Structure 1
């Protein structure tokens, strides 16, 4: 559809006309008008997400094992993969949304292979409920969670996503909802991912291992990655 006609639809929509009324007025099908209105709404939402002012930062958390891996002792690992928590991180970014109100997004990262596996938020909490949420979020890790800077949180999430995309894995679809909460990353301090210089895939309970191994083989080549699937391992 021509840009001029799309603008006419936008102008009529601002007058609170329904798609059916606009279609009748412009001699178009209702489905055509509805499609344009949806596309314009999506564009406006994306533009708003890029320009909206973020709430001030409150704090950021990550499990202690990830801190050791990326920031305290960034050296190759020679340990045997024993459980799914290895190579995993939960990054929590919390912003203050007013008195006694916090807004939280979490990012579940597989920094050895799959990238951003899941993300939740933005979710609102009272300060009391928030303390309980943080405690529950990191119960699956042996190490205590540690506070990190926003820049470190951004570097972790975006470095892991970039690494996984190079292997053929896209970030979780809900990242479009939680991405803006991270703020703009300047690209500084990019982190190395993988294990011992190559991908290491540990099969999770909801994974499709055949599909994942096929993707790894196609993108990095057979023998250029490690994996652990139901007790079977290749290294």
Structure 2
């Protein structure tokens, strides 16, 4: 009888140990989803769901250095999706902002509908979108300009996408030269850093600079007084479009 009771206690202890380990694992997974790195890591279990880009970014019939967004979603096992946004500046800066958020599919769909009501969005293959973004980053890098925003962590959302599968080529700059579009809210420090970098890497006469005329709602509002990307609820494009930094979905 004693041996039977001892065996039962061992089984109960083993069961409790498994339950405790499970609770710890679930708590760790939930805690990990509070960070961008954790969210993207969780999304790696499933393939990319949706990928869109502003049509102006894909249209190279005019050498105008378009600015627009690339949107990517990847689901996680609990039904939510990681929504990544890359704000591409084909004129000069490459990637002007990048961020990722964990949202519900309904939140992303609502956001997508709002964007479609204002601008032309096109579905594109992830390899095409990634090539556009990475080419923009590489093009800006030759002028000493690094991608802004949370680019390094956000770009992990398509770590398994092979952009070499895309045969499309993209043009950058204006008339083949980088053209820094200064917004009315770009700080003197940020402007100076960009202009000095262009002067050093492109050389005098090999780049252009122009002022963006518009309301304070322009894309320049992404930067603070020090020229750093600001944490805010939305990005506003030059044509008035807004890319919402959607809040995290409820846990």
Query: Normalized against structure 1, the TM-score is what?
Result: 0.63
The aligned counterpart of 1:107 is: 86
Deviation at 1:145, TM superposition (A): 1.1
Structure 1: which 4+ aligned runs deviate by more than 4 Å?
Answer: 136-139
Q: Say if 1:185 and 1:131 are closer, same or farther in 2 by CA, change over 3 A.
A: closer
The aligned counterpart of 2:180 is: 201
Gaps of 5+ in 2: 1-36, 214-251
- Is the counterpart of residue 148 in structure 1 residue 128 in structure 2? no
- 3-state DSSP class of the match of 2:119? coil
The aligned counterpart of 1:183 is: 159
Confirm or deny: 8 A CA contact 2:45 2:76 kept in the other structure.
no
- 3-state DSSP class of the match of 1:124? strand
Q: Say if 1:113 and 1:138 are closer, same or farther in 2 by CA, change over 3 A.
A: farther
Superposed CA RMSD in Å reads: 2.9
- Is the counterpart of residue 126 in structure 1 residue 104 in structure 2? yes
Q: Counterparts of 1:26-175 in structure 2 under 5 Å?
A: 53-69=44-60, 73=61, 76-77=62-63, 87-98=66-77, 100-121=79-100, 123-136=101-114, 143-172=119-148, 174-175=150-151
Distance 2:58 2:120 in 1: 10
Gaps of 5+ in 1: 1-45, 80-85
Distance 1:68 1:191 in 2: 9
Distance 1:213 1:138 in 2: 35
Q: Say if 1:230 and 1:180 are closer, same or farther in 2 by CA, change over 3 A.
A: closer
**Paired residues, number:** 170
Deviation at 1:116, TM superposition (A): 1.2
Q: Say if 1:230 and 1:111 are closer, same or farther in 2 by CA, change over 3 A.
A: closer
